[in-house]
Structure 1
Amino acid sequence: MRLARQPLFAAALAAPLFAAAALPAAAEPYAIDPSHTSVTFSVDHLGFSVVHGRFSEFEAEIDFDPDAIETASVAFTIKAATVDTGWGPRDEHVRGADFLDVEAYPDITFVSKSVKLISAERAEVTGDVTIKDVTNEEVFEVVLNKMGPSPFNPDQTIAGFTVTGTIDRTDYGIGYGAPAIGVEMPIRIDLEASPAG
């Protein structure tokens, strides 16, 4: 879900705000704040309940020019072994060959291909997701929650985003327990990012 210098998403959505604020137009890397970023997912369990999980280690990269949104790029990498569903035995199973096989495939990645602005606060980011060496094109919606100076440090600009989408795990060769164990997996990324310079 390298899944992104997440800021890229931010940049794409925030372009109109950059222009409105008359900020200088130049490609600029953003860096995520890991203490205020989360990567989560959910899976239906036999129709009885929904299991929620998260990944605790990830890296993001982004390059963005507010005057050339179409050239923005995002890459995001998740460390598969950091999956956490709140129950140790299940986590070990998910790390094994039936699911993520983290020893053979340590990374889950997203690399953007295009950004389509829907409004000043929303965008669709299309890119390649790779899980267990299987790559599929996926589309994620990105919402700009808020962008502005930090109330604790006016010299620091913060952009907050919510990224959502759904993937079919069987498209990546992860068919264990399907369809009793949910196939379609909603993904959500909540993040804060700031200019890296």
Structure 2
Amino acid sequence: MRKTALALAALAGLALAGPAAAEPYLLDRSHAHVSFEVSHLGFSLTQGWFRDFDAEVDLDPEDVEATRVRFVIDAASVDTTWEPRDRQIRSKDFLDVARHPQIVFESTSVTRTGGETAAVTGNLTIRGETREVTLEARLNKLGPSPFDPSLTVAGFTVSGEIDRTEFGINYAAPAVGAVVAIEIQLELSPAG
């Protein structure tokens, strides 16, 4: 579930191309999605997402390593399309949202890995436990919006995996998968 936080970190990789100086970028929440997938007993994959999240992103296309990302997810906003399961995920069995309402990712480094990819490493905090994670960020497209050519838009896909047991979320593991796949779709534009 911390996958979403990781996805925001991957946005830092968007700096692979963009404006000439480091500047804050704003998240277009209507075109952003934080999702996860986990095995259920080996029979199927359960998918879900977080409905409420935000990001602070400073991108510098000329100096990718100067890019910084902070991603915050409202843990209670988890949605797997089945409310009884969502209640359990919010409970002490999993996210314990009453005591740990946020999932937070803060980047510590961004390293270019290809022409349109970057590794985003940072500290992910879930349920009060902080671990270093690395996600892959892929720049989907960077350029002017076809609806408003004065607006630059950067689109990214951020992906990776986390082991939930490293964050103290041990309930039903490994029958219910310990490894959680994360994917984040993001669109960002300069704040100015």
TM-score by length of 2: 0.93
Query: Which of 140, 144, 151 pairs up with 2:146?
Result: 151
Q: Deviations over 1:144-197 (max 9, x none)?
A: 001111111111111110000000000000000011000000000001110011
1:73 to 2:68 alignment: yes
| Bigger Rg, structure 1 or 2 | 1
The question of whether the paired residues in 1 share the 8 Å contact of 2:13 and 2:138 is answered with no
Give SS of 2:99's match.
coil
Q: Deviations over 1:58-115 (max 9, x none)?
A: 0100112233322211000000000000101000011000000101000001000000
Pair 54,63 (structure 1): closer, same or farther in 2 beyond 3 Å: same
The question of whether the paired residues in 2 share the 8 Å contact of 1:60 and 1:74 is answered with yes
Unpaired stretches in structure 1, ≥5 consecutive residues = none
Q: Distance in 1 between matches of 2:100 and 2:187?
A: 27
* Paired position in structure 2 for 1:94: 89
After TM superposition, what 4+ stretches of structure 1 lie above 4 angstroms from structure 2? 8-11
1:104 to 2:99 alignment: yes
* Paired position in structure 1 for 2:127: 132
The question of whether the paired residues in 2 share the 8 Å contact of 1:47 and 1:180 is answered with yes
Tell me: higher relative CO, structure 1 or 2? Use CA pairs within 8 A at least 6 residues apart: 2
* Paired position in structure 2 for 1:12: 13
The Cα RMSD (Å) is: 1.8
Give 1:11 deviation, angstroms.
5.3
Pair 104,35 (structure 1): closer, same or farther in 2 beyond 3 Å: same
1:182 to 2:183 alignment: no
Deviates more, 1:174-183 or 1:68-77: 68-77
What residue identity is the alignment partner of 1:181?
V
What residue identity is the alignment partner of 1:26?
A
Query: Which of 11, 15, 23 pairs up with 1:28?
Result: 23
TM-score by length of 1: 0.91
Give SS of 1:60's match.
strand
Pair 53,11 (structure 1): closer, same or farther in 2 beyond 3 Å: closer
Number of aligned residue pairs: give it.
190
Q: Deviations over 1:14-63 (max 9, x none)?
A: 43x33xxxx5x322000110010000001100011110000000010011
Identity of aligned residues (%): 52
The question of whether the paired residues in 1 share the 8 Å contact of 2:5 and 2:104 is answered with yes
